[in-house]
Amino acid sequence: MKLRELKSIIMRPDVYKEGLKNFSRSFSCEFRERAVLVEIGSYAGESTEILSKGFYLVFAIDPWDSNPESMDSSSTERYNAGIVDAEKSFDYMRQMRPNIIKLKGNDDLFTYAFSENSIDVLYIDGFHTFEDVKKNIFNWYLKVKVGGFICGHDYKEETPGVIQAVDAVLGQEKELFDDTSWKFLMTQDLKERIEEFYEQDKM
Ligand SMILES: C[S@@+](CC[C@H](N)C(=O)[O-])C[C@H]1O[C@@H](n2cnc3c(N)ncnc32)[C@H](O)[C@@H]1O
Protein backbone atom coordinates (compact mmCIF):
# COMPACT_ATOMS: atom_id res chain seq x y z
CA MET A 1 0.00 0.00 0.00
CA LYS A 2 1.30 3.46 -0.91
CA LEU A 3 1.85 6.12 1.73
CA ARG A 4 -0.65 8.40 -0.05
CA GLU A 5 -3.33 5.72 0.26
CA LEU A 6 -2.51 5.11 3.90
CA LYS A 7 -2.87 8.81 4.63
CA SER A 8 -6.38 8.81 3.19
CA ILE A 9 -7.69 6.67 6.05
CA ILE A 10 -6.04 8.74 8.72
CA MET A 11 -8.60 10.83 10.52
CA ARG A 12 -7.10 12.99 13.22
CA PRO A 13 -7.03 16.71 12.31
CA ASP A 14 -3.92 18.69 13.30
CA VAL A 15 -5.63 20.34 16.27
CA TYR A 16 -6.36 16.86 17.63
CA LYS A 17 -2.76 15.79 17.13
CA GLU A 18 -1.60 18.83 19.08
CA GLY A 19 -4.18 18.09 21.79
CA LEU A 20 -2.92 14.54 22.20
CA LYS A 21 0.66 15.80 22.36
CA ASN A 22 -0.43 18.19 25.10
CA PHE A 23 -2.08 15.28 26.86
CA SER A 24 1.28 13.42 26.78
CA ARG A 25 3.13 16.50 27.99
CA SER A 26 0.75 16.83 30.95
CA PHE A 27 2.65 13.94 32.59
CA SER A 28 6.05 14.67 34.10
CA CYS A 29 9.12 13.59 32.08
CA GLU A 30 10.17 11.41 34.98
CA PHE A 31 6.79 9.64 34.89
CA ARG A 32 6.70 9.26 31.10
CA GLU A 33 10.19 7.84 30.68
CA ARG A 34 9.28 4.71 32.63
CA ALA A 35 5.54 4.56 31.97
CA VAL A 36 3.73 1.51 30.61
CA LEU A 37 0.65 2.62 28.68
CA VAL A 38 -2.15 0.40 27.41
CA GLU A 39 -4.28 1.75 24.57
CA ILE A 40 -7.66 0.14 23.90
CA GLY A 41 -8.55 0.87 20.26
CA SER A 42 -5.65 1.78 17.99
CA TYR A 43 -7.20 1.71 14.51
CA ALA A 44 -4.65 3.17 12.04
CA GLY A 45 -2.16 3.89 14.82
CA GLU A 46 -2.27 7.68 14.77
CA SER A 47 -2.84 8.06 18.48
CA THR A 48 -0.57 5.06 19.18
CA GLU A 49 2.32 6.71 17.36
CA ILE A 50 1.92 9.98 19.25
CA LEU A 51 1.63 8.16 22.58
CA SER A 52 4.68 6.02 21.78
CA LYS A 53 6.74 9.18 21.37
CA GLY A 54 5.68 10.33 24.82
CA PHE A 55 5.73 7.13 26.88
CA TYR A 56 8.26 4.34 27.48
CA LEU A 57 6.19 1.35 26.35
CA VAL A 58 2.80 1.18 24.60
CA PHE A 59 0.61 -1.91 24.34
CA ALA A 60 -1.80 -1.30 21.44
CA ILE A 61 -4.95 -3.44 21.59
CA ASP A 62 -7.41 -3.68 18.70
CA PRO A 63 -9.19 -6.58 16.98
CA TRP A 64 -8.92 -4.86 13.58
CA ASP A 65 -12.03 -6.86 12.85
CA SER A 66 -13.93 -6.15 9.60
CA ASN A 67 -16.88 -8.38 10.51
CA PRO A 68 -19.99 -6.15 10.16
CA GLU A 69 -21.39 -7.49 13.44
CA SER A 70 -18.46 -6.18 15.36
CA MET A 71 -18.65 -2.62 14.08
CA ASP A 72 -19.33 0.48 16.06
CA SER A 73 -22.85 1.83 15.72
CA SER A 74 -21.94 4.85 17.86
CA SER A 75 -19.17 6.09 15.61
CA THR A 76 -18.75 7.43 12.12
CA GLU A 77 -18.60 4.94 9.27
CA ARG A 78 -15.10 6.15 8.57
CA TYR A 79 -13.69 4.07 11.40
CA ASN A 80 -15.40 0.90 10.25
CA ALA A 81 -15.04 1.19 6.50
CA GLY A 82 -11.27 1.14 6.39
CA ILE A 83 -10.42 -1.31 9.13
CA VAL A 84 -8.30 -3.58 6.90
CA ASP A 85 -6.34 -0.63 5.56
CA ALA A 86 -6.20 0.82 9.05
CA GLU A 87 -4.37 -2.28 10.26
CA LYS A 88 -1.93 -2.02 7.34
CA SER A 89 -1.33 1.58 8.23
CA PHE A 90 -0.79 0.61 11.87
CA ASP A 91 1.72 -2.11 10.89
CA TYR A 92 3.58 0.29 8.61
CA MET A 93 3.84 2.90 11.36
CA ARG A 94 4.94 0.30 13.92
CA GLN A 95 8.02 -0.70 11.92
CA MET A 96 9.54 2.60 13.06
CA ARG A 97 8.36 2.40 16.68
CA PRO A 98 9.94 -0.54 18.55
CA ASN A 99 8.33 0.51 21.83
CA ILE A 100 4.85 -0.42 20.54
CA ILE A 101 3.59 -3.94 21.21
CA LYS A 102 0.64 -4.94 19.03
CA LEU A 103 -2.04 -7.09 20.67
CA LYS A 104 -4.67 -8.14 18.14
CA GLY A 105 -8.04 -8.93 19.69
CA ASN A 106 -10.71 -7.44 21.93
CA ASP A 107 -9.41 -5.93 25.14
CA ASP A 108 -11.09 -8.71 27.21
CA LEU A 109 -8.66 -11.18 25.71
CA PHE A 110 -5.61 -9.51 27.20
CA THR A 111 -6.60 -8.41 30.69
CA TYR A 112 -5.27 -11.70 32.12
CA ALA A 113 -1.82 -10.97 30.71
CA PHE A 114 -1.46 -7.94 33.00
CA SER A 115 -1.13 -8.16 36.76
CA GLU A 116 -2.98 -5.88 39.15
CA ASN A 117 -1.32 -2.49 39.63
CA SER A 118 1.00 -2.95 36.64
CA ILE A 119 -0.17 -0.22 34.24
CA ASP A 120 0.80 3.44 34.56
CA VAL A 121 -1.66 4.80 31.99
CA LEU A 122 -4.79 3.23 30.52
CA TYR A 123 -6.04 5.06 27.40
CA ILE A 124 -9.55 4.03 26.30
CA ASP A 125 -10.49 4.69 22.67
CA GLY A 126 -12.48 1.66 21.56
CA PHE A 127 -16.17 1.78 20.73
CA HIS A 128 -18.05 4.76 22.12
CA THR A 129 -21.30 3.42 23.54
CA PHE A 130 -22.05 3.73 27.26
CA GLU A 131 -21.88 -0.07 27.61
CA ASP A 132 -18.57 -0.41 25.75
CA VAL A 133 -16.76 2.31 27.69
CA LYS A 134 -18.15 1.03 31.00
CA LYS A 135 -16.97 -2.49 30.14
CA ASN A 136 -13.49 -1.23 29.19
CA ILE A 137 -13.24 0.50 32.57
CA PHE A 138 -14.46 -2.57 34.49
CA ASN A 139 -12.06 -4.84 32.58
CA TRP A 140 -8.98 -2.78 33.36
CA TYR A 141 -9.29 -0.58 36.43
CA LEU A 142 -7.63 -3.08 38.79
CA LYS A 143 -4.62 -3.25 36.47
CA VAL A 144 -3.94 0.49 36.79
CA LYS A 145 -1.53 1.46 39.57
CA VAL A 146 -2.66 3.73 42.36
CA GLY A 147 -0.81 6.88 41.34
CA GLY A 148 -1.29 5.93 37.68
CA PHE A 149 -3.96 7.33 35.36
CA ILE A 150 -7.15 6.18 33.69
CA CYS A 151 -7.74 8.14 30.50
CA GLY A 152 -9.35 8.04 27.12
CA HIS A 153 -10.62 9.89 24.10
CA ASP A 154 -13.85 11.40 22.76
CA TYR A 155 -15.35 13.12 25.77
CA LYS A 156 -17.57 15.20 23.46
CA GLU A 157 -21.21 15.81 22.50
CA GLU A 158 -21.05 13.64 19.39
CA THR A 159 -20.24 10.57 21.48
CA PRO A 160 -22.60 10.90 24.47
CA GLY A 161 -21.94 7.31 25.56
CA VAL A 162 -18.39 8.28 26.49
CA ILE A 163 -19.55 11.28 28.56
CA GLN A 164 -22.22 9.21 30.32
CA ALA A 165 -19.89 6.32 31.16
CA VAL A 166 -17.01 8.54 32.30
CA ASP A 167 -19.27 10.72 34.48
CA ALA A 168 -21.24 7.82 35.95
CA VAL A 169 -18.38 5.45 36.70
CA LEU A 170 -15.45 7.79 37.33
CA GLY A 171 -17.07 11.05 38.49
CA GLN A 172 -16.07 14.63 37.80
CA GLU A 173 -12.42 14.92 38.90
CA LYS A 174 -11.03 14.83 35.40
CA GLU A 175 -8.68 16.87 33.30
CA LEU A 176 -9.83 17.54 29.71
CA PHE A 177 -7.70 18.29 26.64
CA ASP A 178 -8.27 20.02 23.28
CA ASP A 179 -8.48 16.75 21.43
CA THR A 180 -11.27 15.58 23.80
CA SER A 181 -8.91 13.32 25.74
CA TRP A 182 -9.83 12.89 29.40
CA LYS A 183 -7.65 11.94 32.35
CA PHE A 184 -8.22 10.83 35.97
CA LEU A 185 -5.60 10.17 38.62
CA MET A 186 -6.12 6.62 39.89
CA THR A 187 -6.50 6.67 43.65
CA GLN A 188 -7.61 4.01 46.11
CA ASP A 189 -10.86 5.99 46.50
CA LEU A 190 -11.45 5.93 42.75
CA LYS A 191 -10.87 2.16 42.65
CA GLU A 192 -13.44 1.74 45.42
CA ARG A 193 -15.92 3.98 43.59
CA ILE A 194 -15.53 1.91 40.40
CA GLU A 195 -15.87 -1.32 42.37
CA GLU A 196 -19.08 -0.07 43.99
CA PHE A 197 -20.49 0.90 40.60
CA TYR A 198 -19.49 -2.49 39.22
CA GLU A 199 -21.24 -4.37 42.03
CA GLN A 200 -24.47 -2.32 41.60
CA ASP A 201 -24.31 -2.73 37.84
CA LYS A 202 -24.20 -6.52 38.13
CA MET A 203 -27.47 -6.62 40.10
C1 LIG B 1 -12.06 5.35 17.42
S2 LIG B 1 -11.12 4.08 16.73
C3 LIG B 1 -9.53 4.32 17.51
C4 LIG B 1 -8.81 5.52 16.97
C5 LIG B 1 -7.38 5.64 17.43
N6 LIG B 1 -7.20 5.53 18.87
C7 LIG B 1 -6.85 7.00 17.01
O8 LIG B 1 -7.15 7.98 17.68
O9 LIG B 1 -6.13 7.08 16.01
C10 LIG B 1 -11.81 2.73 17.62
C11 LIG B 1 -11.05 1.41 17.49
O12 LIG B 1 -11.40 0.61 18.63
C13 LIG B 1 -11.36 -0.73 18.26
N14 LIG B 1 -12.12 -1.49 19.28
C15 LIG B 1 -13.45 -1.58 19.44
N16 LIG B 1 -13.75 -2.35 20.50
C17 LIG B 1 -12.57 -2.75 21.03
C18 LIG B 1 -12.22 -3.57 22.15
N19 LIG B 1 -13.15 -4.14 22.92
N20 LIG B 1 -10.92 -3.77 22.41
C21 LIG B 1 -9.96 -3.20 21.62
N22 LIG B 1 -10.24 -2.41 20.57
C23 LIG B 1 -11.52 -2.19 20.27
C24 LIG B 1 -11.97 -0.73 16.85
O25 LIG B 1 -11.57 -1.87 16.12
C26 LIG B 1 -11.41 0.57 16.26
O27 LIG B 1 -10.26 0.34 15.50
Note the pLDDT tens digit of each residue in 106-157: 999 999 999 999 999 999 999 999 999 999 999 999 999 999 999 999 999 9
- What is the mean pLDDT of the segment spanning 92-113? 97
* 92 against 202, higher pLDDT: 92
Domain boundaries, the chain: 3-202
For ligand 1, whether the C-beta of 60 sits within 6 Å is: no
The pLDDT of residue 14 is: 80
Q: Measure 43 CA to ligand 1 centroid, in angstroms.
A: 5
Q: Which CATH superfamily is domain 3-202 in?
A: Vaccinia Virus protein VP39 (3.40.50.150)
Name 184's bridge partners. Answer: 150
Residue 131, judged by CB atoms within 10 A of its CB (0-12, 13-18, 19+), counts as exposed
Query: Which ligand 1 atom sits nearest the alpha carbon of residue 20?
Result: 8
Query: Which ligand 1 atom sits nearest the alpha carbon of residue 61?
Result: 21
pLDDT per residue as tens digits for the range 35-70: 999 999 999 999 999 999 999 999 999 999 977 555
For ligand 1, whether the C-beta of 138 sits within 6 Å is: no
pLDDT per residue as tens digits for the range 155-189: 999 999 999 999 999 999 999 999 999 999 999 99
- What is the mean pLDDT of the segment spanning 9-27? 85
Q: How far is CA 197 from CA 54, 139, 151, in A?
A: 32, 13, 18
- Nearest protein Cα to ligand 1, atom 16: 126
- Nearest protein Cα to ligand 1, atom 5: 42
- What is the mean pLDDT of the segment spanning 81-105? 94
Which residues touch 160 (CB under 8 Å, ≥6 apart)? Answer: 130
For ligand 1, whether the C-beta of 43 sits within 6 Å is: yes
- Nearest protein Cα to ligand 1, atom 25: 64
pTM of the model: 0.92
- Nearest protein Cα to ligand 1, atom 14: 126
For ligand 1, whether the C-beta of 179 sits within 6 Å is: no
The pLDDT of residue 88 is: 95
Which residues touch 14 (CB under 8 Å, ≥6 apart)? Answer: none
Is 75's pLDDT higher than 80?
no
Q: Ligand 1 test: best mutation among 38, 43, 153, most atoms within 8 Å of CB?
A: 43
pLDDT band at 9 (very low <50, low <70, confident <90, very high): low
